[in-house]
């Protein structure tokens, strides 16, 4: 298609958290415990090209990539979910409008900058977001088109979504960004290195780039292989009511926009809407998915069909795994905790209670201190709001720690009665990075899970000097 495929130098994240904190030195700069989460190869969806480049959104960033471009050679179905924060950033407003006006059709590109959120920036910020979209549209107009003039006449709607992440309240250095978009376009490639560089370009206080890819099949075409890939960023200001800060998923399966929208909502409710780092919801949260159908096969139009159900399961599991990387990279985090609420009156009640436990500072600090203070968990269950009457009955509630080593669960409370806790075993369980808290409400048959991390001294240090 006339685009060169460079071999970008793999720059890895430094341990010091700062915007686009990517070191150009050696792989050892990723914290030892996080290196296992960075892929060394991948299988990426057909028809998508990506790039990451440096434009210097923050003056202090002199070399690290901070602008990412993702483009499909052919128009894609698109769906997205956005923050419910009332102070919605300009990119959120612009991208939502693009999805609504196009009805989720003919979207081809996503342009993302890190280093500045373009949030609470007034009319000027809105103009900047639109300018990023216009420049990207101009660059990709001829990308993959047999007849550019015909394609241009076909629709006057934008084919680009825009995302920004970083400090709130500051204007973008828009001239730098607009100059950088054609550069990113020239760097487009389908290589693993390009996908990883794009994932690095959207990072802020992240300590490692968050990228996953995998293949799958569908019942109607068992001999055909499809791919899905995704990247996300986020380590703080994480307690979404949609996604988490920024996330992008791409697949070469053919999915109609209404079905894609339904599948994304189902996946997000069980993944990105079920994680928490610090209980704060960002102004910029956006998770988008593009499906270009480049792998062929029968388009999925019905989520209740065999292909629809299979695709929904693929996206749910994929989104869940991607969202977990955010929790594992939580600012100052030392633990990855799943709270699993079972035998609940309803899914909503189970999720509300799990969410309440996940965002409790007292629960999070106790886990950091390796203190089996189950009273804090019980307290959070008791003050959970907006649960129906009868959802929590103290005499039927049980709480336990479930170790990751496959050992027996450590019962802390059984049907409202406290257990004699083996403190040595409790400490042994809490020494591990991964932990499950199991809450059995004994009031129904539904369940829901939430994933979160602990609060450490490092979280306070990071956020005490965030803008510097």
pLDDT (tens digit per residue) in 317-332: 999 999 999 888 877 8
Average pLDDT for 335-343: 96
> Residues near 424 by Cβ (< 8 Å), separated by ≥ 6?
none
pLDDT in tens, 61-93: 999 999 999 999 999 999 999 887 788 899 999
| Contact in structure between 190 and 44 (CB atoms under 8 Å) | yes
Rounded to whole angstroms, the Cα distance separating 448 from 437 reads 12
- Give the number of other Cβ atoms within 10 Å of residue 101's Cβ: 12
The pLDDT, as a whole number, for residue 208 is 92
Q: Which is higher by pLDDT, 362 or 144?
A: 362
The pLDDT score that the predictor gives to residue 8 is 32
Tell me 242's DSSP state: S
How far is Cα 315 from Cα 409, in angstroms, rounded to an integer? 30
Whether 142 shows a pLDDT value over 80: the answer reads no
Q: Measure the CA–CA gap between 233 and 416, rounded to whole angstroms.
A: 40
- CA gap 69, 110 in Å, rounded: 6
Give the closest residue to 129 by CA, choosing from 93, 102, 100, 101.
93
The full DSSP string for 364-375 is HHHHHTT---HH
Kindly tell me if the per-residue pLDDT of 149 is higher than 80: no
Phi, psi of 165 (to 5 degrees): -150, 145
- Say if residue 99's pLDDT is above 90: yes
- Residue 26 has a pLDDT of 30
* Least confident residue range of 123-132, 148-157, 357-366: 148-157
Which residues are bridge partners to 52 per DSSP?
68
Q: What is the mean pLDDT of the segment spanning 445-460?
A: 90
What is the pLDDT at residue 465?
67
Please tell me the predicted confidence (pLDDT) of residue 161.
97
Q: Where residue 5 falls among pLDDT bands split at 50, 70, 90?
A: very low
Structure token pair of residue 229: 């890939």
Asked which of 36-45, 154-163, 339-348 is least confident by mean pLDDT, the reply is 154-163
The reply to whether 244 belongs to the active site is yes
Residue range 113-141, pLDDT digits in tens: 999 999 999 999 999 999 999 999 999 98
Output the pTM of the full model: 0.84
Q: Is the pLDDT of residue 238 over 60?
A: no
Q: Which residues pair with 341 in a beta bridge?
A: 439, 448
Q: What is the pLDDT of residue 141?
A: 81
The per-residue pLDDT for range 21-63, each reduced to its tens digit, is 344 333 466 788 888 999 999 999 999 999 999 999 999 999 9
277 token code pair = 């780092």
Give the residue-averaged pLDDT of 424-428: 91
pLDDT digits (tens, 9 = 90+) for 177-230: 999 999 999 999 999 999 999 999 999 878 899 999 999 999 999 999 999 999
Q: pLDDT over 70 for what percent of the chain?
A: 85
Q: Decide if pLDDT at 263 tops 80.
A: yes
- Check residue 460 and give its pLDDT: 78
User: Which pLDDT does position 132 carry in this prediction?
Assistant: 98
Whole-number Å distance between alpha carbons of 234 and 4: 31
Catalytic residue from among 160, 197, 244, 283: 244
């Amino acid at each position: 298609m006339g685009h060169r495929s460079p071999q970008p130098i793999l720059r890895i994240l430094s341990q010091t958290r700062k915007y686009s904190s990517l070191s150009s030195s050696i792989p050892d700069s990723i914290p030892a415990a996080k290196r296992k989460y960075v892929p060394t190869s991948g299988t990426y969806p057909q028809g998508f090209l990506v790039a990451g480049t440096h434009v210097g959104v923050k003056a202090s960033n002199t070399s690290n990539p901070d602008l990412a471009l993702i483009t499909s050679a052919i128009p894609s179905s698109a769906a997205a979910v956005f923050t419910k924060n009332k102070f919605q950033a300009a990119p959120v407003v612009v991208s939502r409008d693009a999805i609504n006006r196009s009805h989720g059709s003919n979207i081809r590109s996503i342009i993302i900058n890190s280093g500045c959120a373009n949030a609470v920036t007034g009319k000027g910020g809105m103009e900047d977001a639109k300018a990023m979209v216009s420049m990207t549209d101009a660059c990709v107009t001829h990308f993959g088109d047999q007849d550019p003039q015909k394609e241009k006449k076909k629709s006057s709607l934008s084919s680009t979504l825009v995302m920004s992440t970083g400090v709130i309240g500051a204007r973008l250095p828009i001239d730098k960004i607009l100059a950088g978009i054609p550069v990113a376009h020239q760097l487009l490639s389908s290589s693993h290195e390009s996908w990883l560089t794009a994932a690095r370009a959207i990072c802020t206080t992240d300590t490692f780039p968050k990228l996953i890819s995998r293949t799958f099949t569908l019942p109607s075409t068992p001999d055909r292989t499809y791919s899905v890939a995704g990247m996300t960023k986020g380590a703080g200001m994480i307690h979404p009511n949609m996604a988490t800060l920024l996330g992008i998923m791409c697949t070469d399966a053919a999915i109609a926009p209404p079905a894609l929208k339904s599948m994304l909502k189902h996946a997000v409710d069980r993944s990105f809407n079920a994680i928490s780092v610090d209980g704060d919801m960002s102004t910029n949260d956006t998770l988008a998915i593009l499906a270009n159908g480049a792998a062929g096969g029968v388009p999925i139009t019905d989520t209740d069909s065999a292909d629809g159900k299979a695709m929904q399961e693929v996206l749910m599991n994929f989104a869940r795994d991607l969202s977990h990387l955010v929790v594992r990279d939580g600012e100052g985090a030392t633990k990855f905790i799943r709270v699993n609420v079972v035998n609940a009156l309803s899914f909503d009640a189970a999720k509300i209670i799990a969410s309440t436990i996940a965002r409790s500072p007292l629960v999070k600090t106790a886990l950091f201190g390796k203190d089996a203070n189950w009273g804090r968990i019980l307290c959070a269950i008791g003050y959970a709001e907006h649960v129906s009457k009868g959802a929590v009955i103290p005499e039927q509630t049980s709480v336990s720690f479930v170790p990751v080593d496959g050992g027996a669960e450590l019962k802390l409370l059984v049907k409202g009665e406290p257990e004699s806790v083996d403190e040595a075993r409790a400490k042994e369980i809490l020494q591990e990075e991964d932990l499950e808290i199991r809450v059995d409400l004994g009031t129904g048959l539904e369940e829901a899970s939430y994933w979160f991390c602990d609060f450490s001294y490092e979280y306070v240090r990071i956020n005490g000097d965030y803008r510097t």
